[in-house]
Amino acid sequence: MSQEQTTNKKAILVVSFGTSYPETLKLNIESVENRIREAFPGYEVRRAFTSRTVIKRIAERDGVQIDNERQALERLHTEGYQEVYLQPLHIVPGAEYDKVKRLVSHYAHAKEKAFAVIRLGRPLLYSMGVDDHPDDYEIAIRALVHQLPAAAPDKAVVLMGHGGIHPGNAAYAALQLKLEEAGLNNVFIYTVEGFPSLTSIIGKLKQKQVKQVTLMPFLLVAGDHATNDMAGEEEDSAKSQLVAAGFAVDVYFHGLGENTAIQDIYVAHLRSAIAHPPHGHVCAHGHGHHHKGRCHTHAHGHGHKGHCHGNGHGHKD
């Protein structure tokens, strides 16, 4: 009976880059965690941040210690949890997401199994509707529409993503194409640290004879990047550059985590990870898997619901 009780100890680890802005943390991260807690009452729900800088800042300022992803899994193992499901709040499968995926891979394929089951859900944008897989982009766009202002020929929305050198950041360019396919021709996305650039967006706005621009973070939280890189008063901020280019600019200062439709997407991705192991596989010890028990990862290009990221194959805010 004690073994059965141990096996039934199930936990969900909600993993994000994190933020040191207290109100933003409450509105964008805690809100998603609470949504998940409501949707999965039989699970212990925990928090982990992947940013060591954010964790250190909060500890020094507030005296509050938040686990990183490694510490959180070690704690769950120590406390006897046997089923663990990680749901990342990352936007794209970039560097921060890979950090978590590598960790799950380590646990899933260790000789000494810490957990009977460990699985990782998809970030906001992953699969593209190929074969029978969901189109995460279309679903995210439908959720985004809830927060867009009324469309007009001389008005546009410019979304700010994070970006970076990781190839997963090509998701932002794919999102731009998906926005166009959805008929949102005056909604554009640029990234702080990559492609598409704000300069290219400004050129498109001028071609369309746009007069008014609404800046909007396409980030989980409206934190440091939204405050400084997007809406700051420095001349290199997006707002300042757009004003200098002749546009009237207003700012929608809310992270995606405040959007209940976005929250529901993370819940759906987690539900898929729990209910639908890919190809009949479960990242578990001793369950008689096919293909020598391998659990395929998203890095194979599969968009299967609930992939177990765990055979070593191959974001801030």
User: Which residues are designated catalytic?
Assistant: 162
Partnered with residue 159 across adjacent β-strands are 189, 216
HSE toward the beta carbon, residue 199, CA cutoff 13 A: 4
Concatenating the DSSP letter of every residue in 214-244 gives EEEE-SSS-SHIIIIIIT-SSTTSHHHHHHH
Angle (CA) 233 255 93, round 5°: 110
DSSP 287: S
Residue for token pair 């260790």: 110
- Ramachandran area for residue 29 (φ above 0: left; ψ -120 to 50: alpha; else beta): alpha
Alpha carbon separation from 312 to 109, 134, 284, 298 (Å, rounded): 9, 24, 16, 11
- Cis check: omega of the bond before 196, within 30 degrees of 0: yes
Residue 123 and residue 194 in contact, taking contact as beta carbons nearer than 8 Å? no
The two structure tokens encoding residue 264: 């529901």
Of 104, 8, 96, 2, nearest to 54 by C-alpha is 96
Tokens of 73: 């899994």
From the list 96, 94, 98, 76, the residue with the least C-alpha distance to 85 is 76
- Give the contacts of 77 (CB within 8 A, at least 6 positions apart): 114, 115
Q: Count CB-CB contacts under 10 A for residue 52.
A: 10
Q: How many CA atoms lie within 13 A of 277 on its CB side?
A: 17
